[in-house]
Structure formats: structure tokens, C-alpha cells
Structure 1
Amino acid sequence: MTVREKTIAGVGFQIGTSSEIQGDCSIGDYVRFQSNIFVGKKTTIGNFVWILPYVVLTNDPIPPSNVLIGCTIEDYASIAAASVVLPGVTVGHHSLVAAQACVTKNVPPHMVVAGVPARVIGKASSIKLRDGSGKPAYPWTQHFIRGYPSSITEHWGSDNGEQR
């Protein structure tokens, strides 16, 4: 794991093996990185974000160049395995980037994007849990609290996916 200079991370940040944060980044509270994550310089990541294995957050719009434009990942977003987010793209709060997506444009809040290039395929709340309940999987704060302080999770679970 490598975390370069001028990176600021909040409380409860978890980072998996073989991950690299290039520096000049801001990472919020309770962010979870699984293994093999690459974060380009000048990236901003909000609170309670999930980033799964082999995700790449890029920052050079025309490589190689001296122009660096970081990605912005907003609160409660989830980015699935092997996805790539291009420079300057914002992934909206409570949104989901599907596995192996290449995100070239901003992702609206509460939406799911998939494909190469990634396109909005619907509301994240349309994805159902695979536990037989038929309940929405997103926003994930309505059903998942493991590892988070109860002082925080007691406020989760409202119908619109926002904290009460």
C-alpha cells in the first residue's frame, strides 16, 4: 500500500493491500477500499464510500500531460470491481458504478451506471437484495451497518436514502 504526500483521510478509513493513493487527495470518513485500488492525484472522495477491487480513479485527461483533474466520488457511492472513472468525473451520492464500467461522464445521484462507456441504466433503488426479501439493495444504508459506529447508523434507513 502506498499513500503519497498531502493526502488527508478521515476517521475509520480502511484500505486494502496493494492500493495506491497518488497524493493531494481528500478521503472522507468511513471510506472502505478493498485491494488493488489506484487513486490519481487531486481526487476527492466523500464519506461512507465503497470502492471494490481493481478500481482505477484517473486524473490525466490526455496522458501524458501536466494537467491533472481528479475525480469526485460523493458520499455513500459504491464503485464495483474493475471499474475506471475518468478525470474530472463526479460519481453522485448514493449511486452505483457497475463492475468493469468505464465512467466517462458524471453519474447522477441515486443512479446506477454500467458498460463501456458507462450509461445510466436506472435507479440504484431498482436493484434488489438477493436474500429473497425483495427489498432494494440501494441505498445500502437501509440494510447494512456492519462495522460502523451505532452512533452513526441509528440515523440511517429513511425512505429517500439520506440521513434523517
Structure 2
Amino acid sequence: MTDSINSIDLKIAQLNSKKILEKIKDSSLIAVASKGAKLKKDPSLFADIIIVLKEDKKVIILEYNESYFAVCQGRLCGYMNEIWIKNDSSISEFTKSIEKERKLSNGINSNSPSYNSSLKSTKSNNSSYKNKKYQNSRSYYRGPRGGCYYINSKGNKSYVSRSLCN
């Protein structure tokens, strides 16, 4: 039942994304990138920088993936972190629909019966993973004046915090 609901939600999210993608193809989703924004070759923190914007510029949003937008500015295309894009209603609607679609597609894959059964069989077949119970190897003693200690491996008293004897 939940799988069918998830698949319907995924289809709705895909239709919403298609509407937005059509909006991009028809009128182009345009946003304003802030001064100092870095246009990069790849969607990564350590990617090579193509250009740094010296003023606020309009960019065309092509795609969104994990906090990076695929954008074009003039003749240059690359990736820009979402912190550089000034957020408005169309941008937030675009990112929400992409994230919702991604979550729903991941949810269907992880909740499928074959996935769950493989997890159960792996869990039951793997005997090398056993719950180990650790016992406290130290016995704490309270001295005549209220101090707390234990006997170490050399047979000497080692004093510890009084809270350990409580």
C-alpha cells in the first residue's frame, strides 16, 4: 500500500519537475547571482573556478543537485553553490520540487520488499556480528574517609572521583 502511494507521489513530483523544466525551456528560469559568486567547472567545493563575478549578474538556472545549481552566465556555463543565488519564489519552488522528487525516488528504492528481504537475510546470515556484553573490569571501593579507589593491575590503589563509587 505504501509503495503504491510512494510511486504516485514520485509521479506527481516528476510531473511538477517537468512543468518547471518546460518553464526553463520556454522562458528560462533566471536568477540573480551575488557579487563574488564563483562559477565552477564541477559541483564541488574544491572544483576549479571558471570565473568570479565582480557584480550581481543574472544567470540562467539549468539544474539543481545537492546545493549546487548548474547555471549559464553569458557564454559561460558551470556550477554555482546555492548560497550565491538570491532566492525568490520560483527558485525555491524549483529546488523543492527537485528535492522532493529525489527523496521520493530514494524512498521507493529503500522501502521495496526485495531491499528489505535482502537486509533481513544479510542480518540473519552474518554470524560474525554478535552483540558483545562488556562488564566493568574494575571494582570500586570506598575508603574510611569517603574516598573512592580501585585496585590496579600492579595491586596498588588508584584513586578516582567519588561519583564512581555511588
Greater relative contact order: 1 or 2 (C-alpha under 8 angstroms, separation 6 or more)?
Answer: 2
TM-score where L is the length of structure 2:
0.20
Structure showing greater radius of gyration is 2
